[in-house]
Amino acid sequence: MLLIDCPYCGPRPEVEFRCGGEAHIARPAQPADMDDKAWAEFLFIRSNPKGVHAERWIHQHGCQRWFNALRDTYTDAFIETYEMGTKPSRLPDGRTTR
Amino acid sequence: MRRFSFAALLAEAANAHQGWGRQWRNPEPKRSYDIVVVGAGGHGLATAYYLASVHGITNVAVLEKGWLGGGNTGRNTTIIRSNYLYDESAGIYEHAVKLWEGLSQELNYNVMFSQRGVMMLAHNQHDVQSLKRHIYANRLNGVDNEWLTPEQAKDFCPPLNISPDLRYPVIGAALQRRGGVARHDAVAWGYARAADARGVDIIQNCEVTGLRRGPNGAISGVETTRGFIGARRVGVVAAGHTSVIMSMADVRMPIESYPLQALVSEPVKPVFPCVVMSNAVHAYISQSDKGELVIGAGTDQYTSYSQQGGLHITTHTLDAILELFPQFSRMRMLRNWGGIVDVTPDRSPIIGKTPIEGLYVNCGWGTGGFKATPGSGHVFAHTLATGEPHKINAPFTLDRFYTGRLIDEAAAAAVAH
C-alpha cells in the first residue's frame, strides 16, 4: 500500500485515495471544432511512461479534494504532490526515463 | 527436434534420462531477419511458430529482454474460455479454444490443457440477465455456454454452497464446459521448442532499446542490447511494455499498464473440480494439477511497471473468495505476485498495423490474454506474413479508437476492473 502525501492533509494510506489517471489533459475548450483524431487523443491516448508520471488523485476518504502528483511508475515512489491548477517543479517528458 | 513418444521415454528410461538434451538452441543473433518479433512470451512465441508452420517463414527472430515465458505468460492464472459477448471477441477467443483443443498433439508437447469447465455464478437478477444474454449471444456464435440451476451448479462443483440464506446466494450459473486451464509454462516451452525446430531464432537476454526507420519512414530494424538487428517487418508483442516500445517510434498508444496480482495456496489433494468465477463478489478460483488453489485479484488503481501491487488488493480478493468458499479460510497462501497488464479503453486487444510501415503490434490483452495465446499468435502470424490482417483480427485495429468502432467488452476479464 502506498503512503500518499495529500497537499492538504499530509501523508495518509492509499486506501483513503482514488486515482484519477493521467493529469494535465485539458478538456477541449471548443468540442465542436474537434476532429476524430483530436477526440481519440483526448479520450483514449495516454503517455503511460515507465518513469515519471503526472497523475490526478482525490483524497476520497479525507478532505475529498483533488490534487496532482508526480510518481515514478517503475518504483511507485511519489516525487511530489501539488495542488490542482498548478504545475510541478518539473514536468515529465511523457517518455520512459529508463 | 527429438519427438516425445512412449518409445522415446522407454529408451531414455534405460539411459537414466541422461540423453534428453536441450529443447531449443541459444543462438547468437544474425545481422538481419525477415521478421523480428519483440517479446518471447506465449503470444510472441506462438506468432513465430505459426509464421514457420503455416506460412513457411523461418528467417524469424524472437527477441526477449529476460528469459522466455518469464513475464505475464508465467504470471497468469491459466484460465481458458471463449464465452465473450460480442461477435468479434467470440471470433478470436473461440478460434483460440479450437487451437487449444489440438495443441498438445500439434506441438508434440503436453500443455496439460484440461477442459474442466468454467462456471460463472449469478447472485442477483442483474447477474442472471447478464449471464443469460451472454449465453444466447454465445450460442448464436457457435460458442458453448449453458444455464445451470443452483442444484445443477452444485452437482458440477460440489464445494459450492447453494444455501439460499448466504450473503451472496447462488441463484444460477453459466457454464462453458469446453473452458478450463492449461499449464502456462508448458505453452511457452512447447511453442519455443516447435518454433526453434523449424529454424526460428529465440534470442533471450536481448532487450530492444530502439526502433530504427529507413529514409522512407518504414521500419528497417531494431536496436538492442546485443547490437542492431535488421528486419523487414517488426511485430511488437510486449504486453505491459507496449507503450514503452512504441514510444521508441513516437507512436502513442491507447494503453495504460497496471499491476495485476494473483496468488496460490499450499498444495492440497483435489478439492475443486472446475474454474469458478463471480463478477459480483469479485473473485475467481481454480485448483492446479499440482494441488494449489489458484486465485486471481483485480488490478491496482494506478499505472505501474513495478510487477507488484498493494497488499490490500489481495486481501480484498481473499475476503471475496471466503464469502463463497469459507471452507478455505484455514488455507495458507504460499506465493503472491504481480504482472504488468496492458489495458485498452474498450478492454479488447489491438492486433494489426500501426501508422509506421513494417511495424505491427499485438497488445492490449489486458487482464485476460493467456486464453487467447494460440489464436492471437495464429492471426498475428498471418498479419506479419501477408501485411494484412486475418479476417478474425481485422476488427481489432489501432484505428478503432479514432473511428469510434470499439469492441466494448466490459466482461473481458473475470473480475470487474
> What phi, psi does B241 have (nearest 5°)?
-95, 15
| Residues of chain B with C-beta less than 8 angstroms from the C-beta of A21 | 256
Choose the mutation target among B207, B342, B402 for the interface with A, i.e. most A CBs under 10 Å: B402
Place of cell 529443447: B23
Largest Cα separation within chain B, whole Å, is 70
Write out residues 344-383 of B within 8 Å (CB-CB) of A: 345
The C-alpha atoms of residue B35 and residue B62 are separated, in whole angstroms, by: 9
SS3 category, B198: coil
pLDDT tens string A10-65: 999 999 999 999 999 999 999 999 999 999 999 999 999 999 999 999 999 999 99
| Residues of chain B with C-beta less than 8 angstroms from the C-beta of A19 | 301-302
Note the pLDDT of residue B416.
Answer: 44
For residue B29, count other CB atoms closer than 10 A to its CB.
Answer: 18
Note the pLDDT of residue A95.
Answer: 43
Q: Which residues contact B165 (CB under 8 A, 6 or more apart)?
A: none
Best CA proximity match to B54, nearest among B99, B9, B3:
B99
Domain with CATH 3.50.50.60 in chain B: 21-76+185-254+345-403
Task: Confirm if A30 and A50 have CB atoms less than 8 A apart.
Answer: no
The whole-angstrom distance between B314's CA and the closest CA on chain A is: 11
* B243 and chain A in contact, CB less than 8 A: yes
In the CATH hierarchy, which fold is given to the domain comprising B21-76+185-254+345-403? FAD/NAD(P)-binding domain (3.50.50)
Domain with CATH 3.30.9.10 in chain B: 114-179+257-343
Task: Confirm if B71 and B257 have CB atoms less than 8 A apart.
Answer: no
The partner residue sitting opposite A18, judged by closest CB among B243, B301, B304, is B301
Q: Is B395 left (phi over 0), alpha (psi -120 to 50) or beta?
A: alpha
The partner residue sitting opposite B401, judged by closest CB among A40, A49, A96, is A40
The C-alpha atoms of residue B123 and residue B132 are separated, in whole angstroms, by: 13
Note the pLDDT of residue B413.
Answer: 52
Write out residues 37-76 of B within 8 Å (CB-CB) of A: none
Supply the DSSP string of B11-22, one letter for each residue. Answer: HHHHTTT-----
pLDDT tens string B85-125: 999 999 999 999 999 999 999 999 999 999 999 999 999 99
Largest Cα separation within chain A, whole Å, is 43
Note the pLDDT of residue A89.
Answer: 78
Secondary element (H or E) of residue B321? helix B311-324
Best CA proximity match to A63, nearest among A78, A79, A83:
A83
| Residues of chain B with C-beta less than 8 angstroms from the C-beta of A16 | none
Given the candidates 3.30.1600.10, 2.30.40.10, 3.30.9.10, 3.40.50.2300, the CATH classification of the domain at B114-179+257-343 is 3.30.9.10
**Which residue in B has a C-alpha nearest to residue A37's C-alpha?**
B402
Q: Please, what CATH class does the domain formed by A19-25+48-88 belong to? A: alpha beta
Chain mean position to CA B92:
12
The whole-angstrom distance between A32's CA and the closest CA on chain B is: 16
- CA-angle at B23, arms to B19 and B24, nearest 5°: 135
The C-alpha atoms of residue B252 and residue B389 are separated, in whole angstroms, by: 21
Residue type at A29? A
Per-residue pLDDT of chain B (417 residues; tens, 9 = 90+): 889 999 999 999 999 999 999 999 999 999 999 999 999 999 999 999 999 999 999 999 999 999 999 999 999 999 999 999 999 999 999 999 999 999 999 999 999 999 999 999 999 999 999 999 999 999 999 999 999 999 999 999 999 999 999 999 999 999 999 999 999 999 999 999 999 999 999 999 999 999 999 999 999 999 999 999 999 999 999 999 999 999 999 999 999 999 999 999 999 999 999 999 998 888 899 999 999 999 999 899 999 999 999 999 999 999 999 999 999 999 999 999 999 999 999 999 999 999 999 999 999 999 999 999 999 999 999 999 999 999 999 999 999 999 999 999 875 554 543
Secondary element (H or E) of residue B97? helix B87-101
Strand partners, A12: A4
Best CA proximity match to B63, nearest among B297, B182, B241, B197:
B241
The residue-averaged pLDDT of A1-18 equals 96
Burial zone of B369 (CB within 10 Å; 0-12 exposed, 13-18 middle, 19+ buried): buried
The partner residue sitting opposite B303, judged by closest CB among A2, A43, A53, is A53
Task: Confirm if B245 and B238 have CB atoms less than 8 A apart.
Answer: yes
For residue B48, count other CB atoms closer than 10 A to its CB.
Answer: 34
Cell numbers of B238, please? 510486449
pLDDT tens string B219-233: 999 999 999 999 999
The whole-angstrom distance between B329's CA and the closest CA on chain A is: 23
| Residues of chain B with C-beta less than 8 angstroms from the C-beta of A45 | 252-254, 401
The partner residue sitting opposite B402, judged by closest CB among A37, A49, A95, is A37
In chain A the beta strands, taken as DSSP E runs, fall at: 3-6, 10-13, 18-22, 52-58, 66-72, 78-83
| Residues of chain A with C-beta less than 8 angstroms from the C-beta of B311 | 1
Strands B172-176 and B359-363, how do they pair? unpaired
